Structure 1
Amino acid sequence: MRWLAVFMLMLAAPSQASVLAAARTLPAGTIIAAADLRAVDSNRPGITDPSQAIGLQTRITIYEGRPIQSNLLQPPRLVQRNQIVRLTFARGALRIVTSARSLSDGASGEVIRVMNLDSRSSVDAVVQDDGSLLALN
């Protein structure tokens, strides 16, 4: 009978684990640095490894002390909607570089839609690490 009482106490007590929380209020779009994180004991789920958060961008505002969950983070956006970007079209030795307007936000490696400013036609393009775009069509 005694083991049953111990088992019931274990179920009733909330389990607390060390998770990462915001050390300050992080507005949406903030790139997380090590100084933005602190370990707290919480019964709410959250990220436990700093390498899973550092370098990522917040999707929404995360208030100070709130545990950081992976669904609140995204890869940093290199291209913003309506931004004028350099668009490169490359096929073999042919290489054409022009200006385009992005029609959505994009992180490195994502495919986004852009509008060529000269022809006004829309094409799909891959966001490069430097923020430029490489046309797919």
Structure 2
Amino acid sequence: MIRFLPLCILFAMPAPADTVVPTRTIRAQSVIVDTDVTLSAAELPNGYTRIADVVGQEARVALYPGRPIRVDDIGPPAIVTRNQLVVINFSSNGLLISTEGRALERGAVGDRVRIMNLSSRATLFGQVRPDGTIQVKQ
């Protein structure tokens, strides 16, 4: 039984995994392409292990070469930028109201952003839709 103890310890240790790291400095709000990243032999609990998961995403913070990319460091690319004119939609019980507004924050599809209704100057919150409009919910 003592002879099997070293084998149990050997198999209980996790195998090292590859982690995605930048090959160059990537500025915040830049979209990551496949030449920007590579795999490095390191293990990080909140890091990416596949390049395909990172390519096409937008850097939320500056990413430096050799440092692992963490889950919170990147996200979907923003389709609404700050100060952009957007269409605001509100719907309730069959009533649809559309008006023009100004985005006060950047946002990707599904993000909750602050917007200003240009006709009333009221500040609202809404969700970014895939077509770039903002859906306001009550």
2:45 is equivalent to residue 38 of structure 1? no
CA distance in 1, matches of 2:101, 2:58: 25
- Count of residue pairs the alignment pairs up: 129
Aligned to 2:116: 115
Cα pair distance change 1:122/1:44, threshold 3 Å: closer
Query: Percent identity, aligned pairs only?
Result: 32
CA distance in 2, matches of 1:93, 1:43: 52
Query: Which string of whole-angstrom CA distances, capped at 9 and with x for unpartnered residues, describes residues 49-81 of structure 1?
Result: 223322221111112232212121122222223
CA distance in 2, matches of 1:80, 1:20: 28
Aligned to 1:67: 68
2:114 is equivalent to residue 125 of structure 1? no
Name whichever structure is richer in strand by fraction: 1
Measure how far apart 1:28 and its partner are.
Answer: 0.6
CA distance in 1, matches of 2:56, 2:93: 35
**Which consecutive residues of structure 1, in runs of 5 or more, have no partner in the other structure?**
none
Query: Which SS does the other structure have where 1:71 is aligned?
Result: helix
**Which consecutive residues of structure 2, in runs of 5 or more, have no partner in the other structure?**
none
CA distance in 1, matches of 2:81, 2:106: 4
Farther off after superposition, 28-37 or 44-53: 44-53
